[in-house]
């Protein structure tokens, strides 16, 4: 019987896919594997998923920014790509540092899921009781909530989705905010209410899955390019260009969302906030699609509006 795996002739062994070991990261790795198998008509045995426990998953009692920031989610996978343990790494794009090593390239992004945040524990932010406690580890979510509800107290919630939901069940807070996309990928989207983007603008790259490989590995780059969703890639790259313009870190409350419009344009909305939500600057602009330089300049422009105190959060 003739094999229909002719496209795997270039694969002498299974493609090794590296991922964090958390349930959500594993779900995203499986989505990536399915997309590749579908695109190349591979059998699922052609991809081997190799999980790593990332540094960021080991220490849960401190804010990420105090421990080295976003690199905690990527550094082990970066080492594995460089030493050949894995061929590709799958990331939540929201967790990938803005500046990456030139030796690595995000070669594809899967179609983006729902970009919104989901509120668990109340029907809306407006309906949170006076003085409620909201669990989050995100400076952006904390600042946005405080801007809308200065009476609400934020409590540090870190860990995977299950851990955060357990802390909510243990009454450590009255409500929490989680990425809708993550809940959907875990099959748990029914547990809360999605917050409209005009109430809370999401984090840059929220809901997007990126696939990274060695810049020098042309064969693997060609394999993963087949599953790239151009709309997602173009929007996320513009959001990340805003981040680069701002020089933002894990300490910095930043939100940005690009959406494809007619005539090869993108609507780019971005905002920065002080941690207490009292200072707030936002720019909404229609730009040419793929004009990352204009997006970068929008980040610089936002920074120019900020008070010295707020600007200090962004400049190294």
Q: What is the pLDDT of residue 207?
A: 97
| Phi/psi at 233 (5° precision) | -55, -50
Q: How is the chain split among helix, strand and coil, in percent rounded to 5?
A: 40, 25, 40
- Percentage of the chain lying above the pLDDT 70 cut: 90
Q: What is the mean pLDDT of the chain?
A: 90
Distance of alpha carbon 108 from alpha carbon 223, whole angstroms: 10
Mean pLDDT confidence for 163-181: 95
From the number of C-beta atoms within 10 Å of its C-beta (0-12, 13-18, 19+), residue 84 rates as exposed
What is the pLDDT averaged over residues 81-87?
94
Read off the pLDDT of residues 216-234 as tens digits, 9 standing for 90 and up: 999 999 999 999 999 999 9
- Look at residue 315 in the predicted model and tell me its pLDDT: 73
How confident is the model over 5-29, as a mean pLDDT? Answer: 81
What does each C-alpha distance from 3 to 6, 48, 99, 116 come to in angstroms? 7, 20, 43, 43
Q: Note if 95 is an active site residue.
A: yes
pLDDT at 73: 63
Q: What was the pLDDT predicted at 10?
A: 53
CA 298-110-98 angle, 5° bins: 35
Catalytic one of 95, 117, 174, 291: 95
Between CA 269 and CA 285 the distance in angstroms is: 6
pLDDT, tens digit (0-9, with 9 covering 90-100), for 196-208: 999 999 999 999 9
**Domains contained in the chain, CATH given:** 6-110+208-228 (3.40.190.10), 117-195 (3.40.190.10), 238-311 (3.30.160.40)
Q: Residue range 249-274: average pLDDT?
A: 93
From the number of C-beta atoms within 10 Å of its C-beta (0-12, 13-18, 19+), residue 91 rates as: buried
**What band does 160 get if pLDDT is binned at 50, 70 and 90?**
confident
pLDDT of residue 249: 67
> pTM of the prediction?
0.90
Lowest mean pLDDT, pick from 51-60, 129-138, 166-175: 51-60
How do residues 99-153 score in pLDDT, each as one tens digit? 889 999 999 999 999 999 999 999 999 999 999 999 999 999 999 999 999 999 9
Neighbouring-strand partners of residue 91: 210
| Residue that wins the pLDDT comparison between 167 and 57 | 167
According to DSSP, the residues that pair with 195 across neighbouring strands are 117
**pLDDT at site 55:** 57
* Residue 265 β-bridge partners: 288
Report the chain's terminal Cα–Cα distance, integer Å. Answer: 62
pLDDT score of 53:
72
Angle at CA 202, nearest 5°, toward 201 and 203? 130
Residue 316: the pLDDT is 60
E strand or H helix at 29: helix 23-40
Top pLDDT among 150 and 8 is at 150
């Amino acid at each position: 019987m003739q094999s229909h795996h002719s496209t795997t002739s270039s694969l002498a062994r299974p493609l090794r896919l590296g991922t964090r070991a958390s349930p959500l990261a594993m779900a995203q790795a499986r989505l990536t594997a399915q997309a590749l198998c579908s695109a190349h008509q591979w059998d699922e045995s052609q991809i081997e998923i190799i999980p790593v426990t990332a540094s960021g998953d080991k220490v849960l009692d401190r804010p990420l920014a105090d421990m080295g920031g976003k690199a905690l989610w990527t550094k082990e996978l970066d080492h594995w790509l460089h030493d050949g343990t894995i061929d590709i790494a799958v990331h939540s794009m929201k967790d990938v540092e803005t500046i990456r090593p030139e030796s690595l390239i995000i070669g594809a992004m899967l179609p983006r899921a729902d970009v919104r945040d989901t509120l668990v524990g109340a029907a809306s932010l407006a309906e949170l009781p006076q003085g409620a406690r909201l669990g989050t580890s995100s400076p952006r979510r904390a600042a946005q909530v405080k801007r809308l509800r200065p009476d609400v107290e934020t409590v540090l919630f870190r860990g995977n989705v299950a851990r955060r939901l357990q802390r909510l069940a243990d009454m450590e807070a009255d409500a929490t905010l989680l990425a809708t996309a993550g809940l959907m990928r875990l099959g748990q989207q029914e547990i809360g209410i999605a917050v409209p983007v005009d109430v809370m603008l999401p984090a840059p790259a929220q809901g997007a899955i990126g696939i990274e490989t060695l810049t020098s590995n042309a064969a693997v780059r060609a394999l993963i390019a087949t599953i790239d969703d151009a709309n997602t890639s173009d929007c996320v790259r513009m959001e990340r260009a805003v981040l680069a313009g701002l020089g933002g870190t894990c300490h910095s409350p930043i939100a940005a969302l690009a959406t494809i419009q007619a005539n090869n344009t993108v609507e780019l909305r971005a905002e920065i906030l002080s941690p207490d939500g009292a200072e707030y600057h936002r720019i909404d602009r229609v730009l040419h699609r793929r004009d990352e330089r204009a997006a970068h300049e929008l980040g610089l422009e936002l920074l120019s509006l900020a008070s010295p105190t707020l600007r200090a959060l962004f400049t190294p």
